Amino acid sequence: MKAVEKPIKKKQPGTLRSWLLSYNLAMLCVILIFVIILFSSIFSLLGNMQSRTNQYQAINVLTTQLIESRDLYHRYGNAPDKQSREEILSDYTILNREIAISLQRLKVSYEENPKLYFLYKGIDNGLDFIKLSLDQMEGLDPNTQTKEYFSIYYSGDKVYPYLQDYAFNKYLSYEVEADATWMAEAQSRVSQYRTFSVFLFVIIALSYSLLVYKMTMRLVRPVNTMVETADQIYHGNFDGPPIPLDGPEELIYLEQNLNQMKQSLRERLDMIEQNAQLEKLVHSQELEQMRTTRELEKARYKALQSQINPHFLFNTLNIISRTALFEDANSTVDLIDSLASIFRYTLEYHDDVLLKDELEFVRQYLTIQQFRFGERLEFSIDCPLEFNDVKIPPLVIQPFVENAMVHGLEPKEEGGKIEVAVKKEGRRLVISIIDTGVGIDLAKLNLPKPNGKQHIGVKNIGDRLKLYYKGKANLAISRVSEEGGTSVTITLPYRIRREA
């Protein structure tokens, strides 16, 4: 049986008069929106043009100010007495502030235009140099310290031609070059605006025609629907859908009366169909809930299983360590403890670690290697206590120690020594790893190990350091001498992060 459909009621359908007003207002709003978009684009274009004109004015003003500044500089250098120099210096200070304001108007970032940025920095640095020269000249007596005074004077005066060339020639040339590109783009944009205007006119005309057609159909369609429904009722067909309450208020009143004639005969059928649909919906929800519960239990099982394996590994290593301790196998105990520490350090996920923990991890690794190589391996780790709480990315030192073992000491029959040292140079922390091996081939650092096994390559460590320190970390690898040996230097910003 067909589902019972309720008449679709429209909120405040309005009269025929309100319909006509609404359609006309909607069309007017569309026109206004398109006009606003068009004029906004035009005003944006004019704004850019005005901005570029202001740039030219700023360049001319800056050039004039630089000429005046040089004149004051000459007058200061040749002033007969200290009082005259102080008056000239006062005028120069005022003019220098005006130059700074003009230069600020020309300021541009490196990302916007690298060429203009370097010219801007060149002018700014040149002005600073001239100001420094004036400060140095102010503390000298031109009568008794003539040679030193005029040496500083001429060194500052040589900067002015470069500044004027930067401002008037190069800066203006780059601006003209940029404006030529912008003007070509502006002409293309004007052509696009012209095409857009024609397209806008066509769209408005089509939209208005479409709205008129739609309004006509919204008036005719309800009338045709009521005629068809009246014919079905006349022939005893009450299963048809109700008439949608569509159209102005005058037509909705007629539609409601026709629907009420059919409502009483369909209510029971509606109730039966709704009950059936409700039972079906409840059943589907129960099935979905059971499926969700099953997936949740499966996820919990996998999570528990992933936790069991590391704990089982550590517990097993502890049991072996205790057994070896009871058997007085002290070397075996040390070896197993070192291995457990390495497993625990590598399996735990950390965004960063303390430097002392990273160095302890390196110590445990070298301890295990010392069991293997015996007297062929010597190592030392030197880190002052004040650096213990420095935080670094995990696994940035051990891979280089491993490279020193595999590529440096292992091929060398008599073995060698590995030194890890940490020191502070200014505001930087320097970590060095030096070995006395055969001298590692730098081209092999990022190659995969045999048997398909991979190690953490130099590029990987460099990328992580760059990401962690935002490009402020350095990594350098060099050969100690022609006879052998490799030196790795990691330079980091010195900072200690404390937990909140």
pLDDT bin (cut points 50, 70, 90) of residue 315 is: very low
Tokens read off for 170: 């190069």
Question: Which one has a higher pLDDT value, 372 or 108?
Answer: 372
Which of 45-49, 56-60, 149-153, 429-433 is most confident? 429-433
Q: Is residue 332 part of a domain?
A: no
Q: Is residue 221 part of a domain?
A: no
Least confident stretch, 206-210, 224-228, 321-325: 321-325
Mean predicted confidence (pLDDT) in 16-28: 74
**Residue 120 domain boundaries:** 16-204
User: Which residues on neighbouring strands pair with residue 492, listed in sequence order?
Assistant: 429
Q: Is residue 84 part of a domain?
A: yes
pLDDT at residue 249 greater than cutoff 80 = no
Q: Is residue 8 part of a domain?
A: no
Q: Is residue 41 part of a domain?
A: yes
pLDDT bin (cut points 50, 70, 90) of residue 124 is: confident
Tell me the CATH number at 469: 3.30.565.10
Q: How many domains does the chain have?
A: 2
pLDDT bin (cut points 50, 70, 90) of residue 297 is: very low
Q: Is residue 163 part of a domain?
A: yes
Which of 338-352, 449-463, 472-486 is most confident? 472-486
Residue where a domain terminates, one of 204, 238, 257: 204
Residue where a domain terminates, one of 158, 187, 204: 204
Task: Please state the pTM of the whole predicted model.
Answer: 0.37
Q: Is residue 290 part of a domain?
A: no
Q: Is residue 428 part of a domain?
A: yes
